[in-house]
Amino acid sequence: MSTARHEEFDVVVVGGGPAGSTLATLVALRGHRVLLLEKETFPRYQIGESLLPSTIHGICRLLGVTGELADAGFPHKRGGTFRWGSNPTPWNFAFSVSSKVAGPTSFAYQVERSRFDKILLDNAARKGADVRQNHTVTDVVEDGDGRVSGLRYTGPDGTAGEVSARYVVDASGNTSRIGKRVGGSRQYSDFFRSLALFGYFENGKRLPPPNSGNILCVAFSHGWFWYIPLSDTLTSVGAVVRREEAAKVQGDPEAAMRTLVGECPLIDEYLAGATRVTTGQYGKLRVRKDYSYHHTKFWRPGMVLVGDAACFVDPVFSSGVHLATYSALLAARSINSVLAGTTGEQRAFGEFEARYRREYGVFYEFLTSFYDMHIDEDSYFWSAKKVTKSSHTELESFVELVAGMSSTDFDLSDTESGVLRLKRRSAEFAEAVDTLVGEREENMAPLFRSTVVRDAMQAGSQVQTRAQLGADAGEEVPVFDGGLVASSDGLSWHEPGPDR
């Protein structure tokens, strides 16, 4: 009988998507021994192509891939164009205060994930992580004291291996099998419960410049479409509809896509001269459902969840890769601090969990407001997306997620205060969009003044500033009373006061 290979590392990461690669790189940069196991061979397909500026100018700068991303020629995204809300005219959400003039960091990229994810994974290897593709993690290992102490995997030739590590990081995405070993459970959202059907087209129409790289989101009676330019000619197109349409959509996706496009005049117009891609990685229509959830625990001694393994809200505002890479940054800071012996585990991971929950909660509220703003009283899809229709369990789950973090940001004591808060913030956001459309969108100030938008941008711009300026960014203010702050290089935590 062959004996399983046994190795020892400081950290072992499961999954080489944006969350896994980010974490592996940021821990390897502090000189720790990191192993990353990825079950596929890259490049591999993944959805999630529209990014936010803080990922590009914040986290990717810390990773050291700014130049490589610029050379990759990904389309520049100045923001989003929305046919959404009470006004029939499409409006722009620009990442800069003026929709006409973009600052040097007020753009993101629209990326082919197969290329983007490979850039991040190859970079992790270059920065010192031991990256092994075609390795599938099968289980985690615990010591006798309730601590996770390693994992088991199957290698490319079917041989089994075992790794011992101070930390196991689950970054294996929405299909995570080992995530449940952190304890707690996955809670699915009713409010965001939908189904996405998506494919790729050549030669679709483009928005007029300077917004031709924008994501276009178009609400229609059955839900909404995304339309993402991935090159001059290639477009990612997806319809988000009711989960109840699953049998119809999965039974004949081709017919379902044709019908949905036909029911959405703007997307129909944009695809009028386009042909669907039918070969290669983009050759088939895909369906995703049950993608909106959060795990009730994000860590336990020796194990931490990041990215989609922990939570995902909804595709509408491109928050997936942001939450994945941001959570990886927070977890990397905690791991680096504990391994350096400067912060206790409970304190370091308490900061990780509180900040991660806060960011998830902030996006949850923002996206709830986004849906709540659109009015189509005759539509099943849109009537279910009203804050006032949220189920008791949904709101309880939200309140449990974000409350009790000793932060004044989420001053929620019960479900009722949760509903009131969501209602107030949704109304304020809808009003900001109406003002923006009324002012002919020359300037984004009304949007950036609304609390849900301000909150959604806050953590990202903080990461961006630290990545750009390092020590010159000055001392960070703790997010929570008595909480920790980031070191000047952004890679670990320390107590408020001078960075030692």
Q: Is residue 479 at the binding interface for ligand FAD, with CB under 6 A as the rule?
A: no
Note whether 177 and 192 are within 8 A (CB). Answer: no
Which of residues 309 and 402 has its CB atom nearest to ligand FAD in the complex?
309
Give the residues across from 239 on adjacent strands: 197, 225
Taking the C-alpha atoms of residue 484 and residue 479, their distance in angstroms, rounded to an integer, is: 8
CB of 36 to ligand FAD, least distance (A): 9
For the bound state, the minimum distance from the C-beta of residue 121 to ligand FAD, rounded and expressed in Å, comes to: 9
**Alpha carbon distance 177, 160 (integer Å):** 17
Q: Does 336 bind ligand FAD (CB under 6 A)?
A: no
Q: Per-residue x/- marks for ligand FAD, 166-185, CB under 6 A?
A: -----xxx-x-x--------
Nearest to 50 by CA among 21, 74, 22: 74
CA dihedral 392, 394, 396, 399 (to 10 degrees): -140
**136 vs 259, which CB is nearer to ligand FAD?**
136
Identity at 281, one-letter amino acid code? Q
CB of 434 to ligand FAD, least distance (A): 26
The gap from C-alpha 269 to its chain's centroid, in whole angstroms, comes to 30
* Bridge partner list, 76: 109
- Contact string (CB under 6 A) for ligand FAD, positions 126-165, x = contact: ----------xx----------------------------
**Quick check: 19 binds ligand FAD (CB under 6 A)?**
yes
Asked whether position 186 contacts ligand FAD by CB under 6 A, the answer is: no
Among 9, 13, 18, 407, which residue sits at the site for ligand FAD (rule: CB under 6 A)?
Answer: 18
Q: Which of 10, 112, 245, 308 lies at the binding interface for ligand FAD (CB under 6 A)? A: 308
Q: Please, which of residues 189-218 interact with ligand FAD by CB under 6 A?
A: 196
Contact 52, 108 (CB under 8 A): yes
Using alpha carbons, select from 242, 272, 262, 269 the residue that is nearest to residue 90.
Answer: 269
CA distances to 195, 323, 444 from 222, rounded to whole Å, are: 11, 28, 29
Separation between Cα atoms, residue 500 and residue 492, nearest integer Å: 11
Which position among 107, 224, 312, 410 is part of the footprint of ligand FAD (CB under 6 A)? 312
Instruction: State the residue for tokens 């300026």.
Output: 469
> Within positions 60 to 99, which residues make up the interface with ligand FAD, using CB under 6 A?
none
Interacting residue ranges for ligand FAD, rule: CB under 6 A: 14-20, 37-40, 46-51, 136-137, 171-173, 175, 177, 196, 238, 288, 291, 307-308, 312, 315, 318, 320-321, 324
